[in-house]
Amino acid sequence: MSHSHSSLPWLDRLAASLPGYSGYRTAASRRQADQTLRQAVAHRLERAAENLRNLRNRSPQRDTLALDRLLDHIERVRQRVLSASAGVSSFFEARDFRDSKADALHAIDHAMLEVAREFEDLTTSEKYPDHDWLVHAERELVDLEHKLDARAQLHLMAAQGDASKT
């Protein structure tokens, strides 16, 4: 991330990083913001997977098993990202909710995008993936999965908070 964006509010940071990201404050913008974020994260994971497939093709046969496992994990996470909010229609249909709820969602989206960027950057390293590198890569994917869990919880809380007002 550019340091010039680090002092901006979450929504502004995301808008600077993701053209078309308008945030969650209004019901009208929620679906598009969610889709824009999920597609950007999934795209970074796909590019990381492509980097690893290229590396695997250049690797000695005995070293490909660990890379194959990592590629399988990337695909599982990528599929999860692509379907992350599909079942939370109450979140998308909720009336406008407080800025603090939207800001929490923007913050977790920003964190997910950053982890995806870091993971993609990790896969572009010229360093051959040793055991430590593979462990680090797995940790990045697990971190992204935890952020997906936190994001799902925030979506539910945002929708439930709006439902309790009715």
On whether residue 65 sits in a domain, the answer given is: yes
Amino acid at the residue 79: Q
On whether residue 1 sits in a domain, the answer given is: no
Structural domains of the chain, count: 1
On whether residue 5 sits in a domain, the answer given is: no
Give the model's pLDDT for residue 95.
67
On whether residue 4 sits in a domain, the answer given is: no
Give the model's pLDDT for residue 34.
86
* Cβ 105 vs Cβ 151: under 8 Å: yes
**3-class DSSP string for 21-48:** CCCCCCHHHHHHHHHHHHHHHHHHHHHH
Amino acid at the residue 37: L
Question: What domain range is 83 assigned to?
Answer: 21-163
State the burial class of residue 97 (Cβ atoms within 10 Å of its Cβ: 0-12, 13-18, 19+): buried
On whether residue 8 sits in a domain, the answer given is: no
pLDDT tens for each residue of 18-77: 887 888 777 778 888 888 899 999 999 999 999 999 888 887 766 688 889 999 999 999
